Amino acid sequence: MNRPTLKNNNQDGVQFQIRVILLVLLILLGFGTLTYRFYVLQISRHDFYHTQAESNRIGIAPVTPNRGLIVDRNGIVLAHNYTAYTLELRPDKIADLEETITEISQILPISPKEKRQFYKLKSESKNFETLPLKIRLTDEEIAKIAAQNYRFPGVEIKARLFREYPYKELTSHVIGYIGRINQAEEDKLAAEDKLANYRGTTHIGKNGLEQFYEDDLHGTTGVEEVETDSSGRAIRVLRRTAPVSGKTLHLSLDINLQQYADELFGDRRGALVAIDPSTGGVLAFISKPGYDPNLFIDGIDSQSWQELNSNPFRPLNNRALRGVYPPGSTFKPFMALAALEYGHRRPSDAIADPGFFSLPGSSHRFRDDKVGGHGLVDMYKSIAASCDTYYYRLAFDMGIDEIDRFMPMFGFGRQTGIDLPGEAIGVLPSPEWKKKRFPAPRYSAAQSKWYLGDVISIGIGQGYNAYTPLQLANATAILANGGVAFKPHLVNKVEDVKSHQLTQINPIPYARYNFKPENIAVIKHAMQGVMGPGGTGYAVSGGLQYTMAGKTGTAQVVGIKQGAKYNAATTKEMHRDHSWFIAFAPVEQPKIALAVLVENGGFGATAAAPIARKITDFYLLGKRATPVVETVASKGGKKPAPETTASEGEEFAHD
């Protein structure tokens, strides 16, 4: 018979107490953990989690500023903005981008160009929330996509500002254009600590004034705090910091003068720069041909790009700023002034011109354009009639070192500092320059050596001489001013559109060269003689109502073999001489100085000079046309011969 087991109450009590204690400890631990987390959430890291919560509820959106306007001296708008609607896609919210675009194309026509452009932007863009697929939507297109918008998450219709250049080719090489920000530009903005100010901005200045004055034109980006629901839709705007629009650029440029100059060129290629000598303000700035800058704003299509690049006349080349050409006889007044300043010539010193110049001990002849020569030639006649022989001998007497020392005062071989990017330096040759230009061992010692013949050609503006039309216009303005030099500039004043405060670009001379007044007077008098009887510019002087000083120039493009004759009619157009004319007026108190280049235009008197005359008439008198006598012989002036004989390898000027 089994005996019942006796219960050990003491032992059970101990175990129960242990369980209770453990349960209490567990509860306390749980409460402690909750208390600690409460402390962390509400006290220790309150700011952090509050910010996170707010960021889920509040969206921060940049508000892009209006880009500043660009207007001419009379307030005529040359670059402005307008608002249009754009169909935009946000790739990170679209599961199948290609399928979405295909479905959209069944509602709206999406061209292959638009599709290519979208994918190009997608590959380049990192910081943009949305990318445009189709821009400038019509009201009908907006209605169509709005009715189907529920089908396309990540697809939005946005109102954006667009840039427009109403004068197209006429101002392309001055205004430039804006384009989409690429990676290199984004990196540069980041390095300059400007990236934050470009949040939400898709475009930046790429060329011309748009690039040079980017900081003024861009403005300051604003910020908008928007409360959103759980699906990310905006409920209300909580706070808004308004953007600050870009500043307005007021130019010295006269668009009416610019337009007239363009008409005078017609289909011819070349450049024209007109400057107010008393301030350095640029009145007209032409490079022909031009291009439509509106093509570049949203990315130029491949066909248009190919057409511009394959065009043999290079419309993208800014001839006025970056084209370098031999100056021809327009260089002679500056050579004459150097001779006076350095004591190599007096105004009355004359030479007997046989029609050529030979180096001592050499049978090689540097020929004048006039067979048989000009007879007895003093300084006045050397400029008025443009005698090459006079300047062959003068260059030989001066030597290259004095030429190299004098010409930089007029800006030759130096950047003028105009407010445009990409200005060319030009070539003011010297022995040191030639060594750098033809370095060993790529070139022989004979090729890098400086010869006497090199300086002879420089005397008439040929040889290695090469300058931009802007440099010639600037040099002419300095001469007109008697040695007072202003930096050429296109922007006269910058206007803050919020405060309407104007910041004037003060025309302060950067140099005052102490040329002798009597020497300046000699050169001005001789240049005025260019427009008189016997002068090379007499053909365009009929009916002058003001005094005008000028100088024709004809720059050789290709060399002529010894004994050969130059005949424009039988020479390929691209090999014909360039036509130059520089001038300023009125002579007593110059208000305009200009340089005109007509590429392959032939004699300076027949192509460039008529344009210059009509431009000065328009600017000074308001006349849009001036009758011009076509032939010089009837007025007793110098008539350029249609054929010219040259010696081997010789470069000469024929005006």
Residue 546, token pair as written in the block: 């003001």
Cα distance between residue 366 and residue 357, in whole Å: 5
Query: What distance in Å separates the CA atoms of residue 377 and residue 371, rounded to the nearest whole number?
Result: 15
pLDDT at 36: 78
**Is 278's pLDDT higher than 60?**
yes
Identify the band that residue 6 occupies on the pLDDT scale cut at 50, 70 and 90.
low
* The Cα angle at residue 532 between residues 531 and 536, in degrees rounded to 5: 55
Q: Work out whether the CA dihedral 273, 279, 283, 287 comes out positive or negative.
A: positive
CA within 13 Å, CB half, 13: 4
Annotated binding site: 353, 368, 374, 387
Single-letter amino acid code for the residue at 330: T
**Greater model confidence, 39 or 319:** 319
Which one is predicted more confidently, 495 or 23? 495
Strands 565-567 and 491-495: unpaired
Least confident range from 308-312, 542-546, 632-636: namely 632-636
pLDDT of residue 200: 81
Higher-pLDDT residue of 70 and 505 is: 70
More confident residue, 52 or 632: 52
Share of the chain above pLDDT 70, in %: 86
Tokens (6 digits) for 341: 């300043």
Q: Specify whether the CB–CB gap between 557 and 575 falls below 8 A.
A: yes
Give the C-alpha separation, 413 to 471, whole Å: 8
> Which of the 8 DSSP states describes residue 41?
I
Tokens 């390095």 belong to 191
pLDDT given for residue 555 in this prediction: 84
User: Which residues are annotated binding-site positions for Zn(2+)?
Assistant: 353, 368, 374, 387
Give the least confident one: 204-213, 297-306, 400-409, 635-644: 635-644
116, 536, 651 from 354: Cα distances, Å:
68, 19, 18
- Give residues with Cβ within 8 angstroms of 474, minimum separation 6: 273, 275, 410, 411, 416, 488
What is the model's pLDDT at position 319? 97
Q: Residue 650: pLDDT band by 50, 70, 90 thresholds?
A: very low
Give the DSSP H or E segment for 135.
Answer: none
Higher pLDDT, 637 or 212: 212
State yes or no: pLDDT of 647 exceeds 90: no
Among 606, 263, 592, 326, CA closest to 471:
326
Q: Give the residue with greater pLDDT, 151 vs 121.
A: 151
Token pair for residue 386? 């443009």
Tens-place pLDDT, residues 76-94: 999 999 988 999 888 877 8
**Local confidence band at 392 (pLDDT 50, 70, 90 cut-offs):** very high
List, as one string, the DSSP characters of 121-181: HHHH-SS-S-EEEE-S--HHHHHHHHHTGGG-TTEEEEEEEEEE-TTGGGGHHHH-EEEE-
C-alpha–C-alpha distance, residues 473 and 533, integer Å: 25
Q: What is the DSSP letter of 640?
A: P
343, containing H or E segment: none
Of 342, 256, 216, nearest in space to 615 by CA? 256
| pLDDT score at 145 | 87
Q: What is the pLDDT of residue 35?
A: 83
What is the SS3 string spanning 454-520? HHHHHCCCCCCCEECHHHHHHHHHHHHCCCEECCCECEEEEECCCCCCEEECCCCCCEECCCCHHHH
Question: Would you please indicate which residues are annotated as catalytic (active-site) residues?
Answer: 329
550: DSSP letter: E
Tell me: pLDDT of 54 over 80.
no
How high is the pLDDT of residue 152?
Answer: 86
Nearest to residue 654, comparing CAs of 426, 429, 471, 388?
388
Supply φ then ψ for residue 57, to 5 degrees. Answer: -95, -30
Say what the alpha-carbon torsion angle 121, 124, 129, 133 is, to the nearest 10 degrees: 10
Task: Please give, one letter per residue, the 3-state secondary structure of 282-330.
Answer: EEEEEEECCCCHHHHCCCCCHHHHHHHHHCCCCCCCCHHHHCCECCHHH
Per-residue pLDDT tens over the stretch 413-424: 999 999 999 999
Cα angle: 285, vertex 289, 290; to 5 degrees: 70
Reply yes or no on whether the pLDDT at 61 is more than 80. no
Does the pTM exceed 0.85?
Answer: no
